[in-house]
Amino acid sequence: MQALAARLNQLMPDTMVRGATLASEGALDQAVRGLDRPIVCPWFMSDGWFVKTHLPKRLKAAGLSDWEATAPMGLMPGVARLMCDRIRLRIATLEWQMAQTTVILAAHGSPSSSKPREATEAAAKALAAQGAFKAVRPCYVDEPPAIRDVVSAVRGHAIVVPFFAVRAGHVTGDLPEELEAAQFAGPVLDPVGTWPETPALALAAITALFGAQCV
């Protein structure tokens, strides 16, 4: 989060940008200390429980009474365009054609909430509309269709796009295990939220909230 905040600060040099990980004890309290009505940019892929319930509760517990919030990163306008551009660049190095390439959108999912699936399916639909891929197939760690099942069913060229905000346990552990089970040896991109271009989505979302005064 600190690297992300630093990158966003480069894009907004006249604005104070602080990063915090909810799992890091005291990090959020320190990040919001002394702030009045800040802009909160949730670095999550969907507007599920963490964004709608847990984050507001934590912000209030940290002493904030008022704030503005952007959409979570995975729902920001432009995420599909960003993915399409990154995929196009990668498959060009392999001399693959878009029309012959299946995109595997590997995501978290949830057994208890529809929000992660809805966000992933929306991204998959938007990505399919952005580029003339053979297919865009969403799949999940925590709900069906499982990543290994979707990957195993693909024929021809395929590229995996981890639809995750950070490089954590699901990306470093579960995803490789699923791909190994499917005997997948194709390209796997870095998680969407870690790309150097992704903070520009946050900049656009913040600018949409507050206009030119934020840049």
Report the chain's mean pLDDT, rounded to a whole number. Answer: 93
Above 90 in pLDDT, residue 59? yes
Q: Which residues pair with 102 in a beta bridge?
A: 135, 158
Read off the DSSP letter of residue 215: -
Nearest-angstrom CA–CA distance, 77 and 202:
10
Given pLDDT bands bounded at 50, 70 and 90, which one contains residue 215? very low
In the chain the domains, ranked by start, together with CATH numbers, are: 2-74+196-214 (3.40.50.1400), 77-194 (3.40.50.1400)
pLDDT given for residue 212 in this prediction: 40
Q: What is the pLDDT of residue 211?
A: 66
| 189: CB partners within 8 A, 6+ apart | 86, 87, 90, 159, 160, 161, 162
Could you tell me if 5 and 18 are in contact, meaning their C-beta atoms sit under 8 angstroms apart? yes
Q: How confident is the model at residue 213 (pLDDT cuts 50, 70, 90)?
A: very low
Q: Give the pLDDT band of residue 15 (cuts 50, 70, 90).
A: confident
How confident is the model at residue 189, as a pLDDT?
Answer: 98
